Amino acid sequence: MSTWLSENGLAWIGGGGLALGGLLLVAYAAQRGLFVPELRIALAVILGAAMLGASEWILRQRPSIAGGRHLLAAAVSAGAGAVTLYGAVCAAHGLYHLMPLGAAAVLAAGVSLGLLALSPRHGEPLALVAIVGAVLTPAFTGLPGWSPLALTLYAALIGATGFSISALRRWGKAGAATIIGLLLLSGVPVGQHQTLPAVIIQILAAAGPFAATLWRRRFRRDDAGDAAGDDFGGLPALALVLVSLASFGPWFSAPVGSGHLPTAILLSGFLIVLAAVMASRDMIRPGLFALPVGMAIFCQLVAMAIAVRAPAFAAQLPWQHALTALIPAVTLWLALDRPAVERTRVLAIGGIGVAVLASLTWPILHAAKIGFGWAPAAILAAALFGAAALIARRVEQASTDRGLALWLAAAAEMAFLAAHAAVAPRFEPAAFGLAALALAVAAWRLPWRGLAPASVVGGLIAFIAMLRPEVIGAALDGRLPLATLLAVSAVAAGLLAVSSTLIWKGGGGSVRNEVEAQGATSLLIVLLALFTALHVVLSGPRDRGVDSLLEASLRTLMLLSTGLLLVLRQRPDEGPIARWRALIVVSLGVAHGVLLQGLAWNPWWGAGEPVAGPPMLNTLILSYLAPAGLLAAIVWRRRPADDRWTKTWVLAVPFFALLWALLALRHLFHGAAMGYAAIGRAEGAAYAVLALIAAYQLRSPSMAGRSSTAWLAGIAPVFGWLALIVAGLVFGVRASPWWGPMAEPLAPAGAALLLFCLYGLGAAAMLRLRRGDGPFDRTALAGAVGTLFVLLTLLIRYAFHGADMRAPTGGEGLETWTFSALWAVFGLAVLSLGAARKDIVLRWAGLAALLFTAAKVVLFDLARLEGVTRAASFLAVGALFVGGALLARRLNAGRRPAEDLET
């Protein structure tokens, strides 16, 4: 290491110092006004030429001379000279205007060509130093003086020089430095809201390595290094990755609505096409095609979300739709000539990517109230289905090809999205049933993989559409006529029944699961419509507004109750549909409850209505505790009890139970104001205690004893650590009425009593978490001791100041002395307990408390206390420390060898 640093390390540092020194000399002369501009430039040129001459002198030395020939030193000296010459040219044009742009470009090109000529002689370090220095030159010569055109031409010169050197000598590091340098230069116009120069520079950074590699393959095929797999071969992939990530800048380089998006879209489209061309020529792996596609999707979604309210939003849509259409077109071109595995991967990237893009775009178009907003999805779906015919003719076996199935899945998603956007909510079940029927007809006539599952998905979406508030809720409110609901349900169920028959005719026994699933979905739609009709007939329409939380809870309970009945009726010899219907119904119930009751209509952080009923005995039981009980019964009776479905449902049981406890506490503290009231000290402490109790339950032996719940033991440590962290933050900082974030006094006395009791409960809960001697158990014990220490501190403070614990201490020293004394007693007690129980955690905790007390006495009491109080503080704490030492020695006397070994 010392040899390397004394030779190569010093050479690199010296070369960098020379380069920066040359540039800084030019800048310093300009700032201080030394000499006339012409002389400054002349001196910079002389300095650069001297550096080049020194490098040549070093290179000409014979190896036999003392000191030898240092190739690296020669290279970095030449690079420093070239950088200085770059700076002189840039300053002559940009700072002093001594020459026009054309002359400056010719001189800069001459420097670049000189580097190109010297690089074979000096090696790659020269190229690296020259490229880095050239990139830094605009910053050192006054970046505000560079026009966008000049900077773009200068970047093009750097790119041409760097990529040419890289291609000639197969220098991967020089090519990588050129890519990074161009991207850094592209950030300048991005910051100046100049999109076009940034796009041109980034296109050069992406296309340069491709052109260099292509040139190398075409004209230097006799080079044995091409097959060596050196770092030069990875430049196209590196350029694609870095430029794709940097393409985010041009998308948002100008304000929304300024008309710059077509240029940014051009960059994203270019990167998508370039990635496909690179993959087709085996310069990159086909999977890397996902990066420019994903960045284009991400940038387009963010741009639409920002610009949705802008007046120019509608004018930008044709460009964004063109980018969306480009993705499947390029995907199709790339995939058709690839082997089966790569073709599947590419089709998945393009098909699923455009499906995700269109699915997330539609809500934005809907919010913008764009006319015929469903039309792009419909056109794209038709195009994807049409392209599927071309894929089916090119694949080896259309009935088993996974890529074709993924492409059809994307096309079906587009069709479902168009139906969702174009049809009124009350008619959506019938519309999705019609889409499922169309897919079933295609599955009947065409032996393509993916058509039958897509039809089944359409049926499931029809059932989900029935559960929407615009359908079920409207029928219960009387806003949707019961006849309309029954008619729509009958049409949807009939279409699904017909599609089930067609799927059976097309695939026979190979599609038995799809046929049974479609039939079961049809039956569920009928049962749901009848249930709603009976509810309306028996109870009548509701006169008040929609109780969304109650409706969601009833639907969840209906699904889980149906699932429990199906689980109770399970038999060992049941068929696939009998097995899957219970799984689907229960899983739908779980997902429905988590998404609606847990998130959307939650009465705390969602849009749910206020809780009705007294504390702890209210509608929260129906919404959260009842689903937890039903799921617990389902898990108890489910056979087999250890499959992945049951394990997923097991996780939902504590989720709903914990939600109920959390919301019940919230309602207990705030009542009807639980949706907007701030979290108080005692409330936060109660949540921390709840988290600790939940962690204790998850770590219980009974939980690990059953096969269906044993896997929760795997996540119990993670939840336990999170609970400890949350409890530490709450009891250590947030809930403290002294140093915590809340400044309100702790009043009345009942509030203080409640808070202090919660501190005690928190410490007790941490103690209960300890079941062994592992890191988690030791942390829990240490947390309990720390919580008790904080509680003791707050009690002392409350005894002296009452409710307003933030009041200044004042001049008296009794409070300060009391802290020192009681802290020392606490530390001594914990240390003694640890020594008696041979517990290393308690001993270290007691020692920490004593050492903290000692530091407080020396650093605080000595400065604040005076007279007798100061002396009493030192005497009392000193006596306690001596007594503690004697007691500890007595307790440890019986096990001295073991203690010595441990120490």
pLDDT tens sequence across 70-110: 566 666 677 777 777 877 887 787 777 788 766 776 777 67
Residue found by looking up tokens 């503290």 in the block: 669
pLDDT digits (tens, 9 = 90+) for 465-489: 887 878 877 887 778 888 888 899 9
- Cα separations in angstroms, 615 against 182, 603, 618, 867: 64, 14, 6, 56
User: From CA 557, how far away is CA 811, in angstroms rounded?
Assistant: 64
What single DSSP character describes residue 289?
A: G
CA distance 761 to 779: 17
Mean local confidence (pLDDT), 682-705:
86
Please give the pLDDT value at position 224.
Answer: 43
Band of the pLDDT at 242, cuts 50, 70, 90? very high
In this predicted structure, the answer to whether residue 5 has a pLDDT above a threshold of 50 is no
Cα atoms in the Cβ-side hemisphere of radius 13 Å centred on 427: 7
Higher pLDDT, 11 or 493: 493
781 has a pLDDT exceeding 90: yes
pLDDT recorded at residue 843 = 80
Q: What is the pLDDT of residue 616?
A: 81
Q: Tell whether the model's pLDDT for residue 36 goes beyond 60.
A: yes
Three-state SS at 481: coil
Phi, psi angle pair for 258, to nearest 5°: -85, 0
Cβ-based burial of 371 (10 A; exposed 0-12, middle 13-18, buried ≥19): exposed
Q: Which of 130-134, 383-387, 702-706, 815-819 has the lowest mean pLDDT?
A: 702-706
Residue predicted with more confidence, 352 or 110? 352
Res. 545: pLDDT tops 60: no
Confidence of residue 725 (pLDDT cuts 50, 70, 90): very high
* Mean pLDDT taken over the chain: 79
Say how far apart CA 781 and CA 767 lie, in whole Å.
6
> Which amino acid, residue 358?
A
Q: How far apart are CA 662 and CA 657, in angstroms?
A: 9
First to last CA, the chain: 37
DSSP label at residue 610: P
Contact by Cβ (8 Å): 381, 415:
yes
With bands split at pLDDT 50, 70 and 90, how would you rate the model's confidence at 524? confident
Q: Is the pLDDT of residue 589 over 80?
A: yes
Q: Please give the pLDDT value at position 642.
A: 55
How far apart (Å, rounded) are the C-alpha atoms in residues 275 and 287?
10
pLDDT value at position 686? Answer: 94
Query: For the residues 564-578, what does the mean pLDDT come to?
Result: 64
Contact 373, 421 (CB under 8 A): yes
The least confident of 156-160, 422-426, 713-717 is 713-717
Averaged over 778-798, what is the pLDDT? 93
In terms of Cβ atoms closer than 10 Å to its own Cβ (0-12, 13-18, 19+), residue 128 is buried
Q: Residue 159 phi/psi, 5° resolution?
A: -65, -45
Containing 102, the helix (H) or strand (E) segment is helix 101-122
Q: Give the side-chain half-sphere CA count within 13 A for 739.
A: 10
Centre a 10 Å sphere on the Cβ of residue 309 and count the other Cβ atoms it contains: 11
Return the sign of the alpha-carbon dihedral for residues 57, 62, 65, 71: positive
Burial grade of 718 (CB within 10 A; 0-12, 13-18, 19 or more): exposed
Query: In the predicted model, what is the mean pLDDT of residues 165-169?
Result: 82
CA distance 215 to 285: 20
Residue 539 clears pLDDT 80, i.e. is over it: no
431-468 pLDDT per residue, tens? 999 999 999 998 888 888 888 888 988 888 888 888 78
Long-range contacts of 311-314 (CB under 8 A, 24+ apart): 311/257, 312/257, 312/259, 313/257, 313/368, 314/368, 314/370
* Helix residue spans in 61-171 (DSSP H): 71-90, 101-122, 124-140, 148-169
- The C-alpha atoms of residue 402 and residue 408 are separated, in whole angstroms, by 10
What tens digit of pLDDT does each residue of 804-820 get?
Answer: 888 776 545 778 878 87
Cα distances from 424 to residues 418, 419, 471, 773, in angstroms, run 12, 9, 10, 62
Cα 606 from chain centre: 23
CB 698 within 8 A of CB 633: no
Residue 73 near residue 58, CB atoms below 8 Å: yes
* pLDDT at site 544: 47
Give the pLDDT confidence of 860-879 residue by residue, as tens digits. Answer: 765 665 544 555 555 565 55
Tens-place pLDDT, residues 284-295: 888 899 999 999
> For 6-15, 333-342, 774-783, which range has the lowest pLDDT when averaged over its residues?
6-15
Distance set, CA 380 to CA 228, 377, 423, 815 (Å): 44, 5, 18, 76
> With 0-12 CB in 10 A as exposed, 13-18 as middle and 19+ as buried, what is 38?
exposed
Please report where in the chains the tokens 């979406």 appear, as a residue.
Answer: 461
Element (H, E) at 454: helix 451-466
